[in-house]
Amino acid sequence: MSLSTQLTEKRDANAANLPPEVLAIMSDATLNLKLSGIIDSAPKAGDKLAAFSLTNPLGVTRHLSELLVNGPVVVTFYRGSWCPYCNLALRAYQQHLAEFKQLGATFVAITPELPDMSLSTAEKNELEFDVLSDVNAEYAKALGLVFSLPDSIRDLYKKFGVEVEKHNGADQFNFPLAATFVVAKDGTIVKAFVDADYTYRLDPEDIISSLKAL
């Protein structure tokens, strides 16, 4: 089953099971984010992806410049291990990791979660690619991908038992948009997926097509 199909099934299940007032709050927050114009400032195909130096849960720092020496790099952003859509995407990317590697690409995921939490995410989803901690979402912010979780959603998450500050640090409610970039060896973005609706992600097959085109 494709990632897109899995995400659609998850959206349908939420629509059927969540109270209408909860769905309305979530829908309004997504609409407001779309109308904010945030996507207009996000990196696009043809842009150079800004360099990063971020640490994995084992304390090893990964530099984009060094990863690109070996070939193209696929960079995906996710919100946290508490997000079911993020977990579906991460598992789907893991399932296609061998294909990415065969096409010469390195795959990395970037999250605002603290290292201990990102380690839990990697272990839970049996990930064999680097999960890098973007503490305070500083790198994502530099790319123009960051928004602050509105109070209405913070309250909802508390009711759901999601402790954002436990995952991201005290007073940290900044999240990256759902975004994935396929970056050529020279640092140029050849495929950019950015969506204000976190329930949508770039399908692995689209990543593979972009890598084959290189």
pLDDT at site 125: 87
Q: Under DSSP, is residue 92 helix (H, G, I), strand (E, B) or coil?
A: helix
pTM more than 0.75 = yes
Q: How many CB atoms lie within 10 A of CB 4?
A: 16
**Domain encompassing residue 191:** 3-213
CATH number, residue 45: 3.40.30.10
What's the confidence (pLDDT) of residue 199?
A: 97
CA distances from 199 to 35, 61, 70, 155 (A): 17, 29, 32, 19
Strand partners, 178: 195
Total structural domains in the chain?
1
List, as one string, the DSSP characters of 22-69.
Answer: HHHHHHHHHHHHHHTTGGGGS--TTSBPPP-EEE-TTS-EEEHHHHHH
Percent of the chain exceeding pLDDT 70 equals 100
Task: Provide the β-strand partners of residue 20.
Answer: none
| Total count of residues recorded for the chain | 214
pLDDT of amino acid 206: 98
Residue 37 has pLDDT above 90, yes or no: yes
Q: How far apart are CA 161 and CA 71, in angstroms?
A: 41
Phi, psi of 54 (to 5 degrees): -130, 155
* Residue 35 to residue 31: CA distance in whole angstroms: 6
Q: What pLDDT is recorded for position 188?
A: 98
Dump pLDDT digits (tens) for 137-172.
999 999 999 999 999 999 999 999 999 999 999 899
48-51: which pairs have CB atoms within 8 A and are 24 or more residues apart? 48/187, 48/188, 48/189, 49/75, 49/143, 49/181, 49/183, 49/187, 49/188, 49/189, 50/139, 50/142, 50/143
Q: Which residue has the tokens 């979530």?
A: 26
Say whether 138 sits in a helix, a strand or coil: helix
Residue-wise pLDDT for 187-201, tens only, equals: 999 999 999 999 999
| Mean local confidence (pLDDT), 207-212 | 98
pLDDT at 121 over 90: no
